[in-house]
Amino acid sequence: MKKLLPLLAVAFSLVSCEEIVDINLHDGNQQVVVNAQFATDKNKPTMTLSTTGRFTDGAGIGPASDFIVSITDQNGNTAVLNETTAGRYRLTNYGLSAGNTYTLSATDGTKTISATSTVQAKAVIDSVRLELIQFSDFEFTIVHIYTVDPAPEANYLRSRLNYNHQGFSNFGNVMADVLNANGVMDMALAGGPFLQGDTLTIELWSMDEAGYQFYRTLNQAANSDPSSTASPFNVTSNVVGGFGLFEVYERDEYTLIVD
């Protein structure tokens, strides 16, 4: 009998390993995703609305059409965005100004979403310095972007790089300046290696805290290790009734040729 017990234990373990476990994965409610980032110096900015899909097969993902989309400032000045193609909405004949607070609203009669953004003081790029880093047989460049704190209150900045006119990268660096009062800030970006004659164009965004938190958590989620047992990063959204980001920001640009 004593010899039989271990054999029974092994037999039960083999049976349990072969058992099919049916995990019931529930699909969440379909959400509207907002991608609305308006620079004050851009003419006729465009935003997109899309819908999330089912976890099981992705059904439902696509452009969100036939929404009535509007933007209103703190004084009640309102403009309606025109849908140019499915899910793409354009703002025309409406000025965006520093210091103003704007509310974006969108509805299709059944779903209603909204978000608010305040335009912050503009940070201007003072200078750019390239630092070559050699690591074993690999080298890369740190792009140091220097700017002076534009205001005594907290500043939230985002920097992006455009290499040889190929378009700005979706990911960049973000910084929250909550302690540095009117000091010099370094918005460093990693890139390269760059060659002599290459053209580098740098963008510097001055955002509100909601925009900073969105890109900070988005960068963390993109750089997290999927094999890690730690809790995943949740991307922070300022959209009520949906997901994504509505941001109105000031923008500065700087171009240099690598020598």
Confidence of residue 5 (pLDDT cuts 50, 70, 90): very low
- Output phi, psi for 110, to 5 deg: -115, -35
Does residue 56 carry a pLDDT above 60?
A: no
Q: Are 154 and 207 in contact (CB under 8 A)?
A: no
Residue 135 reports pLDDT greater than 60? yes
Residue 227: pLDDT above 60?
Answer: no
pLDDT attached to residue 224: 67
* Cα–Cα distance measured from residue 47 to residue 162, given in angstroms and rounded to the nearest whole number: 21
Residue 120: what pLDDT? 94
pLDDT reading at 218 higher than 80: yes
SS3 category, 214: helix
Residue 98 contacts residue 40 (beta carbons within 8 Å) = yes
Residue 19 β-bridge partners? none
Residue pair 159/204 in contact by the 8 Å Cβ criterion: yes
191, two tokens: 């890139």
* Alpha carbon separation from 220 to 142, 178, 233 (Å, rounded): 20, 20, 7
Q: How do residues 190-210 score in pLDDT, each as one tens digit? A: 887 888 999 999 999 999 999
> Per the structure block, which two tokens stand in for 77?
């000045």
Greater pLDDT, 125 or 8: 125
The per-residue pLDDT for 199 is: 95
Phi, psi of 253 (to 5 degrees): -135, 145
Average pLDDT over residues 163-171: 84
Quick one: pLDDT band at residue 49, thresholds 50, 70, 90? very high
Other CB atoms closer than 10 Å to residue 247's CB: what's the count? 27
pLDDT at 233: 59
Predicted pLDDT at 193? 81
| Tokens 């049916």 sit on residue | 22
Q: What pLDDT, in 10s, does the model give residues 67-82?
A: 999 999 999 999 999 9
Q: How confident is the model at residue 65 (pLDDT cuts 50, 70, 90)?
A: very high
Confidence of residue 106 (pLDDT cuts 50, 70, 90): very high
- Where in the chain are all domains bearing CATH 2.60.40? 32-118, 125-216+251-257
Token pair listed for 212? 């900073």
Please give the Cα distance from 124 to 152 (Å, whole number).
15
Look at domain 125-216+251-257 and name its CATH class.
mainly beta
Which class would CATH give 32-118? mainly beta
- The pLDDT value recorded for residue 180 is 56
pLDDT reported for residue 3: 43
Q: How far is CA 127 from CA 73, 204, 257, in A?
A: 34, 12, 13
Instruction: Write down the mean pLDDT value for the chain.
Output: 84
The DSSP line for 48-108 is: EEEE---TTT-TT-EE--S-EEEEEETT--EEEEEEEETTEEE--S----TT-EEEEEEE-
Query: Does residue 225 have a pLDDT over 90?
Result: no
DSSP 89-155: EE--S----TT-EEEEEEE-SS-EEEEEEEPPPPP-EEEEEEEEEEETTEEEEEEEEEEE--SSS-E
Whether residue 110 has pLDDT greater than 70 = yes
Lowest-confidence range among 11-15, 133-137, 181-185?
A: 11-15
Question: pLDDT grade, residue 61 (50/70/90)?
Answer: confident
Residues 6+ apart with CB under 8 A from 1: none
CA–CA distance, 64 with 73 (Å, rounded to integer): 24
Q: Which residue has the higher pLDDT, 49 or 24?
A: 49
